[in-house]
């Protein structure tokens, strides 16, 4: 995909309805299941936070599921990702287990980070998940390094770095983009443009409409996709990943998407930085509703089959939360564990 090929109108939220070409039924089902897993993981985590059960911060991904699912269905297990402070969706879609994730949110020793990392540092090296990251933009050069390692070792895995619109204003993003381009590394840059850097709308922090324009400055091709359409994201990601795997260098995907909850937590709007109407309008294009309507309409799945995915996932989540709640807390005697490697 050498040229910009937009499947979305330039201005969010007036994105076009999903008109992306067909993909195979197993891919649709895979996309759907990964999105349901993210949605339920997140909404249950939100409830736990509201109930005062979780320490720390919780940046929910709900609304953006099509991006994580669309990209991760284009990847292999040995492909690496770096994520953001809003990283649960990427972790779930990359295959990190619910038990390890909930346990980490609870600060238990059974967590993905042994209770040392929390929500913003969930990782799983066996799944190619190089970590959520509390520093905006910091994962970008790290993904470049992971891609460098793959090529150095003669492997054909690729690295994907996820970032928001706001991260493209930070130096590390630009340095990482240029470094990947100049070294011709297999990196896919995925911008989840949800329109807000924390509480500040895109119009207040950059004078361009499409973040994808920034890729051109580094000689990197880019594509803009409807970030509520998992199929469109999957197709764009597949092309970008295959391109990178062939040794043709980095590429950027800008997915226009939206977060349904607040920047942090479920509510807590001290001032209305976005209107109820805007949120409601985006919710009419809920990415899971869209793929379910599509799956039923084209005969990929029956409603009962889709409902079964929800129920199975609910059961798995209930079990994982119970596991986390009954898991031991870390021992303060082990406070210095892993400060250094042996």
Partner 1 sequence: MTTTTEAPAVASVPAARRLSYVKAFNEGLAQAMREDENVFVAGEDVAGYGGVFRMFDNLLDEFGPRRMIDTPISEAALVGLGVGAAARGLRPVVDLMFMDFIGVCLDQIVNQAAKMKYMFGGGLSVPLTITTASGAGLGAAAQHSQSLEAWLAHVPGLKVVMPSDAYTAKGLTVSAIRDNNPVVVMLNKVLLGSTSEVPEEIYGIPLGQAHTARHGSDVTVIALGRMVGEALAAAEELAAEGVEIEVIDPRTVQPLDTETMFASVRRTNRVLVVHEAVTFGGLGAEIAAQIQDVVFDYLDAPVLRIGAPFSPVPFSPVLEKAYVPDRARIAQGCRRLLERS
| Smallest distance, partner 1 to C-beta of residue 192, A | 20
Phi, psi of 145 (to 5 degrees): -65, -40
| One of 28, 45, 101, 150 touching partner 1 (CB under 8 A) | 150
Q: Smallest distance from the beta carbon of 8 to partner 1, in angstroms? A: 29
Taking CB under 8 A as the criterion, which residues in 234-273 touch partner 1? none
**Phi–psi pair at 193, nearest 5 degrees:** -85, 100
Q: How far is the CB of 181 from partner 1 (least distance, A)?
A: 10
Q: Measured from the CB of residue 105, what is the shortest distance to partner 1 in angstroms?
A: 14
- Applying CB under 8 A, the span of 22-30, 69-77, 133-141, 253-261 interacting with partner 1 comes to 133-141
Q: Which of 80, 119, 193, 222 binds partner 1 (CB under 8 A)?
A: 80
Q: Nearest distance from residue 68's CB to partner 1, in Å? A: 20
Q: Alpha carbon 288 to chain centroid distance?
A: 15
Closer residue to partner 1 (CB): 19 or 135: 135
CA-CA distances (angstroms) from residue 215 to 177, 178, 208, 223, 249?
Answer: 8, 9, 12, 10, 12
Please state the closest distance from residue 139 (CB atom) to partner 1, in A.
9
Binding to partner 1 (CB under 8 A) within 283-342 occurs at 337-342
CA dihedral sign, ordered 7, 291, 32, 56? positive
CB nearer to partner 1: pick between 215 and 288? 215
Place of tokens 């798995």: 316
Range 174-203, binding partner 1 (CB under 8 A):
175-176, 178-179, 182-183
Secondary structure class of 82 (helix, strand, coil)? strand
Q: Give just the sign of the alpha carbon dihedral 215, 216, 219, 222.
A: positive
> What's the min distance (Å) between Cβ of 279 and partner 1?
32
Piece in contact with partner 1 (CB under 8 A), picked from 17-25, 172-180, 199-207, 321-329: 172-180
Q: Which is nearer to partner 1, 117 or 249 (CB)?
A: 117
Q: Which of 112, 190, 232, 233 binds partner 1 (CB under 8 A)?
A: 112
114 binds partner 1 (CB under 8 A): yes
> How far is 124 from 130, CA to CA, in rounded Å?
7
Q: Are 6 and 19 in contact (CB under 8 A)?
A: no
Residue 72 binds to partner 1 (criterion: CB under 8 A) = no
Q: Note whether 149 and 213 are within 8 A (CB).
A: no
The nearest distance, CB 82 to partner 1, in angstroms, is 8
3-state secondary structure 159-227: EEEEEECHHHHCHHHHHHHHHHHHHCCCEEEEEEECCEECCEEHHHHCCCCCCCHHHHCCCCCEEEEEC
The single residue among 3, 153, 272, 333 that binds partner 1, judged by CB under 8 A, is 153
DSSP element (H, E) containing 74: none
Report the residue number, 58 or 130, with the smaller CB distance to partner 1: 130
Contact between 141 and partner 1 per CB under 8 A: yes
- Angle among Cα 161, 286, 208 to the nearest 5 degrees reads 50
Q: 215 CB contacts (<8 Å, ≥6 apart)?
A: 177, 189, 221, 222, 251, 252
Find the shortest distance in angstroms from Cβ 142 to partner 1: 4
Instruction: Fill in the DSSP letter of residue 10.
Output: S
Q: Interface residues with partner 1 (CB under 8 A)?
A: 80, 82, 111-117, 121, 123-125, 130-131, 133-135, 138, 140-150, 152-153, 159, 171-172, 175-176, 178-179, 182-183, 337-342
């Amino acid at each position: 995909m050498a040229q910009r090929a937009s499947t979305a109108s330039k201005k969010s939220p007036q994105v076009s309805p999903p008109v992306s070409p067909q993909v195979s039924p197993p891919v649709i089902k895979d996309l759907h299941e990964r999105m349901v897993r993210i949605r339920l993981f997140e909404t249950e985590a939100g409830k736990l936070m509201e109930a005062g059960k979780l320490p720390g911060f919780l940046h929910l991904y709900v609304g953006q599921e099509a991006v994580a699912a669309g990209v991760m269905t284009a990847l292999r297990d040995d492909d690496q990702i770096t994520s953001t402070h809003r990283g649960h969706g990427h972790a779930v879609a990359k295959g990190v287990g619910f038990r390890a994730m909930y346990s980490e949110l609870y600060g238990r020793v059974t967590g993905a980070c042994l209770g040392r990392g929390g929500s913003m540092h969930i990782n799983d090296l066996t799944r190619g998940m190089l970590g959520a990251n509390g520093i905006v933009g910091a994962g970008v050069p790290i993904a470049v390094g992971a891609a460098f390692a793959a090529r150095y070792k003669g492997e054909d895995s690729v690295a994907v770095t996820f970032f928001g619109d706001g991260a493209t204003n930070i130096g590390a993003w630009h340095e990482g983009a240029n470094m990947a381009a100049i070294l011709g590394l297999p990196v896919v840059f995925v911008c989840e443009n949800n329109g807000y850097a924390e509480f500040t709308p895109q119009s207040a922090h950059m004078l361009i409409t499409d973040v994808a324009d920034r890729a051109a400055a580094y000689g990197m091709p880019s594509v803009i996709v409807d970030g509520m359409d998992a199929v469109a994201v999957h197709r764009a990601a597949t092309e970008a990943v295959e391109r990178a795997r062939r040794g043709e260098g980095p590429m950027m995907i800008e997915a226009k998407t939206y977060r349904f909850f607040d920047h942090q937590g479920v509510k807590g709007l001290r001032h209305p930085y976005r209107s109820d109407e805007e949120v409601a309008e985006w919710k009419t294009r809920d990415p899971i509703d869209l793929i379910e309507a599509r799956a039923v309409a084209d005969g990929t799945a029956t409603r009962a089959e889709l409902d079964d995915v929800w129920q199975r996932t609910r059961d798995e989540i209930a079990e994982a939360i119970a596991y986390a709640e009954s898991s031991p807390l870390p021992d303060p005697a082990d406070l210095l564990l892993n400060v250094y490697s042996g």
